Structure 1
Amino acid sequence: MSKASSTVATTDNEAAKPKVAVVVFLLNGKKVLLGRRRSAVGNSTFALPGGNLEFGENFEECAAREVKEETGLEIGATELLTVTNNLFVEGPKPLHYVTIFLRSSLTNTDQVPQNVEPEKCDGWDWYDWDNLPQPLFWPLEKMVNSGFNPFPA
């Protein structure tokens, strides 16, 4: 049995099931929207808006719902950028997330992000892609360090 499968075999049934997260690179010029997490996983790190895919939702619906729930912002059309496979084995309970990364922009550039879920986030702000705040949430940090760029070529 491989290390990964032995890790899964020793967890409870719910933790052993991968979950799907949809996150959004919400772009505004050369800036991206990030919030500081308040969570058992990645606490105090900067992350993109997003969350769990709900039963029956497509990726675009999930992205629009999550961005609205977390920031109060309305987003335009989305574009699939990449998918990552993330194992969080160091937290209180192991988690496995397949993360769908989308790109979008605001439907109206006069909108201002609000901290709609203060129990989950310390607040949202726009950051220059070339000068991101630290520390970044691990999956995002991994992408940035790989040279990934969410901006259209």
Structure 2
Amino acid sequence: MENGKEEPVPRVGVAVFLLRGKTVLLGKRRSSIGDSTFALPGGHLEFGESFENCAAREVKEETGLVIEKMEVLTVTNNVFLEEPKPSHYVVIFIRAVLRDSDQVPQNLEPNKCDGWDWYDWNNLPKPLFWPLEKMAQSGFNPFPID
């Protein structure tokens, strides 16, 4: 602590590649970080929580969907210096599928998201949330290789 101010510290986020066929679920953010960009469902890791439990909890809270077959895909280190509130996130990316393929995503947090929809990985909407855009441009593919 310097001059009575807390030093900023990195936070841990979990983002979920929820796959259906060759599409991925994305929502349009309403947030101080990445406002009006398309992003994966996810959120902050809580103390003592596993990555998989966080993924399942966040997807359920945001979309009402129940997921399964979770698998850690990759980790990214994201520093947002240009945003209104500079921040630093280490993000754990999880791949998952719907427990029941007939489930339909609901927008359960309209103050944080303008709505959810399925998008073809090869035709993603714009603008993408910066970490996701960086991954897509690098050639990253969240789909399992058959």
Q: Residue 38 of structure 2 contacts residue 127 of structure 2 at CA under 8 Å; is this kept in 1?
A: yes
TM-score, length-scaled by structure 1? 0.91
Which of residues 70, 75, 79 in structure 1 aligns to 2:71?
79
- SS of 2:92's partner is strand
Bigger helix share: 1
Q: Residue 69 of structure 1 contacts residue 116 of structure 1 at CA under 8 Å; is this kept in 2?
A: yes
Question: Is residue 42 of structure 2 the alignment partner of residue 63 of structure 1?
Answer: no
Bigger strand share: 2
Q: For 1:4-56, what per-residue CA distance to the aligned partner results, in whole angstroms no more than 9, with x for missing partners?
A: xxxxx99x955621000000000000000000000111000000000000001
| Structure 2 unmatched runs, 5+ | none
Does the C-alpha gap of structure 1 residues 15 and 67 become closer, same or farther in structure 2, counting only changes over 3 Å? farther
- SS of 1:67's partner is helix
Q: Residue 21 of structure 1 contacts residue 53 of structure 1 at CA under 8 Å; is this kept in 2?
A: yes
Q: Residue 15 of structure 1 contacts residue 95 of structure 1 at CA under 8 Å; is this kept in 2?
A: no
Two-structure CA RMSD over aligned residues (Å): 1.5
| Structure 1 unmatched runs, 5+ | 1-8
How many residues align structurally?
A: 144
Runs of 4+ residues over 6 Å off in structure 1: none
Greater mean deviation of Cα atoms: 18-27 or 84-93 = 84-93
Give % identity.
Answer: 71
